[in-house]
A and B are shown apart, each in its own frame.
Chain A
Amino acid sequence: MAEAVVFYIFAALILGFAVLVITAKSTVHSVLFLVADFLCVAALYVVLQAPFLAVIQVMVYAGGIVVLYLFVVMLVNLKRPPELHADPRRLGRLGLVMALAVFAELAAIGAYGWLKPSGFDGSLDSKNIEQVGRALYTDYLVPFEVASVLLLVAMIGAIVLAKREQ
């Protein structure tokens, strides 16, 4: 019961913040809403018995990535709002319609799921971090290393791209 309440509240927050993110006039505002959204998602992770992911979400997303966005937003202080010039060939509304259509379909699929409800039978014990760590460093060691290499490359690439060539 309490779980349902928590879920519905956070779900509403998530969707609301998401809407705000994509509708906010000021970029900085949407960044803030994004942070809030991520925090809510993190809370939802806690509900899903994934505290480690929740913390990682906060630390990496909210604490790292979005800060990056914030920097860029601050560096890109625009003389004129970016949305002025609009290309007539862009089919924004069609995209909106299509997105809604796809969502309708997915919802329909979900509705099928409602007919035969499946509760959370399996449950993760409290030693969540240990499990994740084991999985990362044993079964998924190679993907883990590859991900680290990917991050390194991304870092170098970002430095090279952002470097002001003198």
Chain B
Amino acid sequence: MNLHRRNLLQFTAIFTLMASAGLITEAQAEEWNKAAFEGKSLDEVFNALGTSTPEKSSLISMNAPDIAENGAVVPVSISSNLKAQQIAILVEKNPSTLAAQFFIPAGTESFVSTRIKMAQTSNVFGLVKADGKWLMTSKEIKVTLGGCGG
């Protein structure tokens, strides 16, 4: 653990230069799918991803709690038996529906785990694009009010 941290710090120093040079180029940064992330509904996001409403599929699974103790951090992972090219996480009742999307090259598993914010109790959708076609699964995650509320 400590050893790892020390290594990390050394690398930090060495790679500062590289970071400022930038491994993500400005041109790549431009590719961020603004339209999809600005979508305010499921349909708008589906549209921006170039699909009609995806078919529900049992080949996609979502691992997430039924109840989140705090909406600021909700762990969600999506996986599939299909060879995913792309994965997306959508939260129906968030101000912006699309939370994140992931591009999965060959050699990388059809799996991602991350943590998202939820404004309120909502259906959460896990989308997987495989063989050029989007499929999805969904579940409701309840967001509870925490602490003293003050």
Determine if chain A interacts with chain B. no
